[in-house]
Each structure stands twice: as structure tokens, then as C-alpha cells.
Amino acid sequence: MESVVLVRYGEIGLKGKNRPAFENRLVQNLRRALGPEIEASVRREHGRIVVDFGGREAPRQAIDRLRSVFGVVSISPAKAAPLSLDEALAGARLLVEEKLQATKGPVRFKVEAKRSNKQFPLTSPELNGRFGGYLLRAFPRLEVDVHAPDFVLHVEVREKAIYLYTEILPGPGGLPVGSSSEGLLLLSGGIDSPVAGWLAMKRGIRLRAIHFHSFPFTSDRSKEKVIDLAGVLSRYSFEPIPVYVVNFTPAQTAIRQHVPPAMTITVMRRMMLRIASRIAAQHGIPALITGESVGQVASQTLESMAAINEVTSMPILRPLVAMDKGEIVELAQQIGTYDLSVLPYPDCCTLFVPDRPETRPRIERVRAAEADMPIDELVDEAVATVDVVEPVLEPSLSL
Ligand code: ATP
Ligand code: MG
């Protein structure tokens, strides 16, 4: 009896001609999720993916990893029996035995058989009857309850095997990372941008990150925190997300020298976007991603966004644009970035926030405010001195 994990996907099935590319990407990502030390074959099978562990039991950690891959709607750890009723019954017996181990007293169940292989001689209702009867005889504690069962034994008769399972574990949905090109995430040490990155990944975007660091105004700890955040996000793509660390001190210093305080945030954001756009273009990355959300702070009014946006023609994705802070915090907690984000190392922006930032900056005034700054030189210098840091991926599965 083989041990397998059945992987179901949804949306990528809708993608018409792109379908094989999407499926191949998902297969590749599932393989990567398992890591090199797990022996398993990953194959496509009629609108699903089967991860086959051979005769070995699928390790719990492997199951957890498979179900966290974007594009996965649900998974079921299953036994795969050959196309023989007797062997399938024996498999079901093993499975139910495991299921009952954790319980005492009567347990209600039902069988749900599905026969897509019409060559197989028994129909679905007949299979329900045979499996139900067999299990009732094998385990006196079992009772049939089709309305409120404690568990359902699924029996799927397919082309080459009969799959048996009792669990359907939800996955994150979305699209497989890498199926929607690449995006450059402006990653601060705050709560929002990591969540924005996660949501972009969920839509299939492969991430690289850029971080603006103002040493010695901000500490090395604040930089490390951002690398660690990239590390947490890397858990969802199972490959390290590189972080382009930009020395932002010369730009910050020039801004402080030349720009009136009410306008510094806007100009700072414009500098960030100029540098980020240049680095993205250098690497053939077509879009930027930020953690902005409308109305959250002074620089996130629509007028501010317009003034900031003016410096680039690259699309800027803002996955959090319509979310409330509470919703963002909740998601940050779920995906595991929150605890890092709230560590108290100041970021370059928190440090330079003026008392009264302009909430409706007029574009002409912003242009005038930065007119004395050597913008091209500052961008060139920042791009030339960028440092690429890769987070260390979690240690691979220890088996
Ligand atoms: P976050 O929680 O992501 O820091 P925020 O609510 O603090 O967001 P801002 O500080 O206005 O908002 O930043 C808006 C966006 O600009 C951030 O979400 C992030 O994408 C980008 N950003 C801000 N500071 C930096 C930085 N030091 N390096 C890279 N990107 C930054
Ligand atoms: Mg911030």
C-alpha cells in the first residue's frame, strides 16, 4: 500500500492555454517545499497532483509544508491501493484503525465512494455498501451516520489506483509563486509591507525585496530585522527572497538640507521609488509592491500617492490598499511576521517624520521643494552601492 498526498488546486484550472505552465509550476513548487531530503515523486494526474511517498508514511512536516504552498486548495493524506476490492478494503481497515486510536466509545462514520474509472466493476453505491459493511464488521465501535458523521471515509476509484482518505486539509489557495512574473517589494520593518508581500506572492508573484537603510541613523539591528522578515516570507516560496539593501543616508541627508519639513516624507518616498524603479528595471522586474493603505498616514492620502507616483511609470501594486489596520495586523499574526515587525528598531522613516507632514502635497510644490537636490547623482550612487543580502532559509526538514 502506497502512502500519498492528494493535492487539489482550483483557480489554475481556469487558465485555459496557460494551464500546463501553471500546473508545472505548482509541481515544481511542491517539490521544492518538500526539500531534497524527502524521497517522493510528484506527478500530475487528471486535474490533481499526487505526491507519492512510496511505501513510507508521509511525514507530518511534509504534509504541513505541502498544504502551505500557494495554489493549493486542499490536500488529503491518503493510501493508494491497487485496483482490487480486497486490497482497498484492507487499506481502509488500516486507515480506520489509525483513526480510532485517538478515541474511545462509539464513533459515527460514513463512506463516500466516487468511481471515475468506469472499468471498475462496482458502482459508487455498491462501493459504499461494501466498505461500510466491511468496516462495521471489523470495528464494533463504528456506527453509520450519514447526516452527522465523526469522519467520512472517501474512496476514489481512479485509473490506476483506489485512493482512501478521511482528511481534507485546506491550503492557502491563490496561484503558484512564479506563475505571475516577479515584483520588487519595498520592505520596511513595519507591519504592513511584509503582509503586502505575502498577498502578492499569493497571486503567484515571485518576490525580491528592497530596503532603504540609513546607517548610522538606523541601527544594523533594524536591517537584520528586515532580512529576517524576508526570511519569514521565504517560507512561503521555499526559496530565499533576496533583499537589495540601499544606503539611503546620502539621500536622507540631502533631503534634510534642501526640503522644507512638511514635504520631507513626500520627497523621501519619491527618492525611494526612483531608486526602486531603477533597480527593478535593471533586473527586468516589471512592478513594484508597497504596503500602503489609503488614509493610514499622511503620505497615504490619494494626493500624496499621486505626488509620490509621479516619479515612476512602473505599476505599483498596493495589495493592502483597502484593508483596515486591524485586518492587516491579524494577517501579519497568521503569516508569522507580526512578532518581528513590532520589535522596536526605528526605521529611516519613523526617524524623520516631521511634526506636521503635508497631507495634500501639490505636485508643483513638491517639484520645487526638491529642485535643489542632486537627484540623478543620488539615485546613481544609491544604485551603485546596493548590497544584496539573502536570508537564511529555515533548516530543512529533519527526519
Ligand atoms: P510599513 O508597516 O510597511 O512600514 P507604514 O504603515 O509604516 O508601512 P509608511 O512608513 O508610510 O507606512 O511606508 C509606506 C510603504 O513604503 C511601506 O509599506 C513600504 O512598502 C515602503 N517603505 C517605507 N519605508 C521603507 C524602507 N525603509 N525600506 C523599504 N520600503 C519602505
Ligand atoms: Mg513604516
Nearest residue CA, atom 16 of ligand 1? Answer: 290
336 within 8 A of 228, measured Cβ to Cβ: no
Residue 15 scores a pLDDT above 70: no
CB contact at 8 A, 273 and 311: yes
Q: Which ligand is nearest to the CA of 298?
A: 1
Question: What pLDDT does 344 receive?
Answer: 83
Query: Is the per-residue pLDDT at 395 higher than 70?
Result: no
Question: Of ligand 1's atoms, which has the minimum distance to the CA of residue 186?
Answer: 30
Ligand 1 center from residue 120 Cα (angstroms): 59
Distance of CA 348 to the CA centre of its chain: 27
**H helical segments located in 310-362:** 325-335, 338-341, 348-351
Domains and CATH numbers, the chain: 2-167 (3.30.2130.30), 182-389 (3.40.50.620)
Tell me how far the alpha carbon of residue 339 lies from the centroid of ligand 2, in angstroms: 15
DSSP per residue over 218-270, as a string? S-HHHHHHHHHHHHHHHTTTTS---EEEEE-HHHHHHHHHHS-GGGHHHHHHH
Cell representation of residue 58: 508521509
Residue 129 scores a pLDDT above 70: yes
Interval 147-158 mean pLDDT: 97
The CA distances from residue 385 to 183, 210, 247, 271, 391, in Å, are 21, 13, 7, 15, 19
From 185, 191, 193, the mutation candidate for ligand 1 (largest count of ligand atoms within 8 A of CB) is: 193
DSSP state of 311: T
Statement: residue 65 has pLDDT above 60: yes
Q: Which ligand is nearest to the CA of 248?
A: 1
349 Cα to the center of ligand 2, angstroms: 6
Rounded to the nearest angstrom, the distance between the alpha carbon of 187 and the centre of ligand 1 is 7
> Is residue 246 a contact partner of residue 212, using CB atoms and an 8 Å limit?
yes
Between the CA of 306 and the centroid of ligand 2 the distance, in Å, is: 19
Mean pLDDT (the chain, rounded): 91
| Closest listed residue to residue 285, CA positions, set 317, 310, 263, 256 | 317
Q: What ligand 1 atom has the least distance to the C-alpha of 300?
A: 11
User: What type of residue is 373?
Assistant: M
Quote the CA–CA distance of 201 and 116 in Å, as a whole number. 34
Backbone dihedral angles phi then psi of residue 389, each to the nearest 5 degrees = -120, 135
Percentage of the chain beyond pLDDT 70 is 93
Segment 324-382, tens digit of pLDDT: 999 999 999 999 999 999 988 766 655 566 667 778 888 999 999 999 999 999 999 99
Q: Got the DSSP string for 262-294?
A: GGHHHHHHHHHHHHHHHHHHHTT--EEE----T
pLDDT tens, residue by residue, 27-64: 999 999 998 878 899 999 888 999 999 888 888 889 99
Would you state the pLDDT for residue 349? 57
43 in helix, strand or coil?
strand
Pull the grid cell for residue 124: 459508487
pLDDT interval class at 157 (50, 70, 90): very high
Which residue's CA is the closest to the ligand 1 atom numbered 22? 188
| Residues 6 or more apart whose Cβ sits within 8 Å of residue 323 | 293
User: Letter for the amino acid at 318?
Assistant: R
The pLDDT score that the predictor gives to residue 188 is: 95
Coil vs helix vs strand at 168: coil
Helices 85-101/124-138 angle, 10° precision: 50
Distance from Cα 188 to the centre of ligand 2, integer Å = 6
Rounded percentage of the chain residues whose pLDDT exceeds 90: 77
Chain centre to alpha carbon of residue 67: 11
Which protein residues are within 6 Å of ligand 1, measured from CB?
186-188, 190-193, 210-212, 290-292, 296-297, 299-300, 347-349
The C-alpha cell that represents 25 in the structure block:
509550476
Neighbour-count burial of 36, counting CB atoms closer than 10 A to its CB (0-12 exposed, 13-18 middle, 19+ buried): exposed
Q: Which ligand approaches the C-alpha of residue 211 most closely? A: 1
Task: Return the ligand number nearest the Cα of 192.
Answer: 1
Ligand 1 atom nearest residue 350's Cα: 10
- Residue minimizing CA distance to atom 17 of ligand 1: 291
Query: How long a stretch of residues is the chain?
Result: 399
d(CA 320, CA 5): 33
Distance (angstroms) between ligand 1 centre and the Cα of 68 equals 26
- The type of residue at 40 is A
Of ligand 1's listed atoms, the one at least distance from the Cα of 226 is 28
The pTM assigned to this predicted structure is 0.89
For the chain, how far is it from start to end, CA to CA, in angstroms?
A: 21
Mean pLDDT of 232-248: 95
Helix (H) or strand (E) segment spanning residue 25: helix 19-34
